[in-house]
Chain A
């Protein structure tokens, strides 16, 4: 039986219609930049492995600080550091640790002799450690914030006693802890109670609005605190440049009232659970965010350093980790091109376990 083409085609129409279906193939992404390098940073000689560093960002170098560095022989060096001047060099040869005359890694931020003695005298399995959290650099001098943490006896047991500041003079290899002179209590280095100031995300020196309608330079330190499950409030604390070692000079920023002493009166700049780093970028400011749940890095540009950070812009993926990726600091001191960012993180993913340094080149403006 011969059927006309019209009948054949109509039959085809019906058949195709009956087969109406969607088969997903792929989901692509546009991008604001590209990863130009992702290296595993080699561990220096004699070091078992590298964790994620916090850092002080200088104009043309980055001072990486590890809370704990495990040596091949089984020893542990607290707060070891390395001045990193080049992303490609540290990828090729690892960081050059600050070492003493015998080649042993130096401690940048050390417990006092009294604190060491107290640790030795403890019988409860606890010990005081100093945990650097980041800071800023002004006129070549580093100002590093750190927490006094009572750790142990369990591996996850830790009580934060408060934060302190240490000052790292230009060219020095040890950071001088600032004592609280106002309290009159002697060698008190806990300058900020845990809920008094939040200073755990590093900072920078930047112009901010002053009372007279103009601007003034201030040292700004960012901090995030958990207020509820999955809610982390990030605020800015600032101090005039001539009072950087005075704890009472550090006040919290409020968008409407300026500077305040009340933590709860501070304006929230973002709600980010993971690490954030704020840096200068193309004449404005950029917050780099590592989302530890998604294992992704996002960028949030802003016109000012004290707020107005825009929505998250996806930048690149990092390798996931069995717990969470560690670190996540962006190192502006390593930038040789203004639009190339460098970020460190750690992972235990078998595809590349260890400390990664990722270089990311943004194509252009990061807006809207």
Chain B
């Protein structure tokens, strides 16, 4: 009976929330976004341009290792009030990375090849983002401000031998696990440049991760004078504090990564073609390895908007 009462409350609250919206007819005819909409771009200030490899977005790296990420982030529901927009949605990815360096090229959708072991990781996140739509423009013309809170989970794996070979012992590798992430983003136009900055704080759930917390910073800058091509650069850095998990203590981790390339904008999003350089700890079941790499990749940043 208790369950039934709780369910009724949830349904009542949902009905109230929907009733407060003026219904599908609320879609504006005057170019203004509607008060409410289902499935839409995830954020006011997109994360799809980030240099972070944790940004859930369709990405393929050809060098120095083949890396394929299928992922995305979308708002499942968006509610707009005068002066405030609230989005809530879901993000996630599956990333495959060859452990060995790219040792050949061929035609096809995945041009790089490697004989290395396949490492993969998966992540999902639920988030809520709030945008004070009047505050941003009040701070500066063309500016936007957004705060996002998300609950994220990440696990890492590898593909073992198909022929009876021994498996790897990866128990000493850190486990990213579950965390709560708060980020605050700010964007502005400066002449023909669009800038987006993001400050990130991470708190990992005790006994659910090899890390305790972390901070990160994200910067995206692009030259938007052209109609078809926008040169851009993205920089990302993070520092994670190691913690103990199941009787094992893990070291800190850091990552610095920069992208430099061109964005091909469209109504659907951007195609990013970029070269990158990074230094710090790897991902997946190789987190304890510290290295520096340079390479090249391409990304389909679907759902970017509001520039």
Interface residues of A (CB under 8 A from B): 4-6, 8-10, 12-17, 19-32, 34, 311, 313-314, 362-368
Contacts and interface: CB of A to CB of B under 8 A. Distances in A.
Contacts of A32: 247-249
Query: Is the interface on chain B under 10, 10 to 19, 20 to 34, or 35 or more residues?
Result: 35 or more
Interface string B57-70: 00000111100000
B292 interface: yes
A170 B102 CA distance: 68
Contacts of A25: 279, 290-292
Given A21-B294, A22-B291, A32-B249, 7 more contacts: A13-B275, A24-B289, A28-B251, A28-B289, A30-B172, A363-B249, A365-B247
B169 A28 contact: no
Residue with the greatest number of chain B CB neighbours at <10 A, chosen from A4, A9, A32: A9
B229 interface: yes
B273 to A, nearest CB: 6
Given A6-B226, A25-B279, A366-B247, A13 B273 contact: yes
A195 B174 CA distance: 45
The secondary structure that dominates the A interface is mixed
Contact of A16 (B250, B275, B279): B275
Interface in B222-241: 223, 226, 229-232
A27 B290 contact: yes
Nearest to A314: B172
A9 B63 CA distance: 18
Contacts of A14: 275, 296
Interface of B: 62-65, 101-102, 169, 171-174, 210, 223, 226, 229-232, 242, 244, 246-251, 260-262, 273-277, 279, 281, 288-296
A14 B172 CA distance: 38
A14 B275 CA distance: 7
Nearest to A27: B289
30 contacts: A5-B223, A6-B226, A6-B231, A8-B231, A9-B232, A10-B261, A12-B275, A13-B275, A14-B275, A16-B295, A17-B295, A19-B294, A20-B63, A20-B296, A21-B294, A24-B289, A24-B290, A25-B291, A27-B289, A27-B290, A28-B251, A28-B288, A29-B251, A32-B248, A363-B248, A363-B249, A364-B246, A365-B246, A366-B247, A367-B246
Contacts of B173: 30
Contacts of A16: 260, 275-277, 294-296
The secondary structure that dominates the B interface is strand
B291 A12 contact: no
Nearest to A15: B275
Contacts of A364: 244, 246-248
Nearest to A4: B226
Contacts of A6: 226, 229-231, 262
B288 A27 contact: yes
B288 A30 contact: yes
A159 B55 CA distance: 67
A15 B291 CA distance: 20
Contacts of B294: 16, 19-21
Nearest to B244: A363
Contacts of B169: 311
Contact of B290 (A21, A28, A31, A313): A28
A21 B295 CA distance: 7
A20 B276 CA distance: 9
Nearest to A32: B248
A367 B274 CA distance: 43
Residue with the greatest number of chain A CB neighbours at <10 A, chosen from B102, B262, B290: B262
Given A28-B251, A30-B248, A13 B290 contact: no
Nearest to A365: B247
Contacts of A28: 251, 281, 288-290
A179 to B, nearest CB: 47
Residue with the greatest number of chain B CB neighbours at <10 A, chosen from A12, A21, A22: A22
Nearest to A10: B262
Nearest to B287: A28
Contact of B248 (A17, A21, A23, A31): A31
A31 B249 contact: yes
